[in-house]
Amino acid sequence: MITNRDFIIVGLQALDSRIGSNCINIAHEIARHNRVLYVNYPLDRLTRLREKNDPLIQKRLRILKGKEPDLVQISENMWNLNPRTMLESISQIPFNGLFDFFNRINNKRFAREIKKAINKLGFSNYFIFNDSDMFRSLYLKELLNPELYVYYTRDNLIAVDFWKKQGIRIEAELMAKADLVVGNSTYLADHARQFNPHSYYVGQGCDVSLFDTKLIKNVPDDIAKIKRPIIGYIGALFSLRLDIEVLIYLAKQRPDWSIVLVGPEDEAFKTSELHQIENVYFLGSKKMEELPDYLNPFDVALNPQKLNEVTIGNYPRKIDEYLAMGKPTVATRTKAMEVFADHTYLADTKEDYLALVEKALLENTSEMEKEREVFAKSHTWENNVKEIYDKMLLLMTQPKAI
């Protein structure tokens, strides 16, 4: 454990983000025993213009003008800073020298606002925890002089077009200069180790408290009428991440199975052959609190992930949700899925999917369901942060090179 210390947390998502974030969960866990300054990303000029009607952007603009406070206490040990500065929009600049010139300016503006908050709060000997903010926070180690600079990698961002142009070069530079790199998947930790020997897998926290069979009160009408066995998937139905051909193959090979898909569809899914197959059911988007009610009737849960640069390193949080309810789960074999190998069925091909779903249906037992549940519920944010602390303490206790 690390206690009674000061942490500065920067990242890609603001504390008032409309979607969940690993970094926010980690920050709240750290704040149980330490002081935390959570720094929202500053506005840049393009975002100000493009999203000027967004209430969150309007709030940032009021803060910039001094009409609302920039530093707000969230809890006994946590403060939230909205930096009163405007950054240049530089992510798509193709020329390295020009990008670096403006990025230094952005980093100095960002660091200046953080320093003001540090001085106001009396933070000292602090740690910086950077959640994948590779551009704006590249020079914070030099500008703020933390005791430790920790870089957290949780997605293979450099495979995404927005980050690719400068991110491949910049993230490698940032990983190399960080004191410590921690990743939520073995794939990302291995990637980071190319640039920094102090790179470690620390697992992933999940709040699976909703996914508890004891809390299920009823079966929703739209799934109650569907014939068993139900082979299902819950989550965004996006063709970039999911293999439509696997689902088509399963549905056609086993018309006696019901393939149930819960979640929003992209255009590729909306126009796919799946909509013409009688034993495939699209149930649409559901509220988060409704998802366990839909998962409960599944006989087997699926994650037919497509293997590409974007997905290969991702920690599949939905697997923890499936397992927390004891569901037999068949998923695509990836480096990140190795962690789940003892509790899931891992497929390499669509033919594997068919054979493994059949196997999962045949051999499931109540004992296996309990083992899955216990395993999933060990992936808490508390345990995740303890792993991060362990790696920090390991580094802090190593003899310094002379």
pLDDT for residue 314: 80
* DSSP for 156-192, written as a single string: -GGGSHHHHHHHHHHHHHHHHHSSEEEESSHHHHHHH
List of domains in the chain = 6-205+381-396 (3.40.50.11010), 213-377 (3.40.50.2000)
Q: Is the pLDDT of residue 208 over 50?
A: yes
Task: Please give the Cα distance from 253 to 246 (Å, whole number).
Answer: 11
Cis peptide before 316 (omega within 30 of 0): no
DSSP 51: T
pLDDT score of 308: 83
For residue 15, give both structure tokens. 């504390």
Biggest distance spanned by C-alpha atoms of the chain = 71
Question: pLDDT tens, 7-65?
Answer: 999 999 999 887 668 999 999 999 999 999 999 999 999 999 998 899 989 999 999 99
Q: Provide the whole-model pTM.
A: 0.84
Q: Chain-wide mean pLDDT for the chain?
A: 94
User: Shortest CA distance to 154 belongs to which of 294, 374, 316, 340?
Assistant: 316
DSSP state of 262: E
pLDDT, residue 402, reads 46
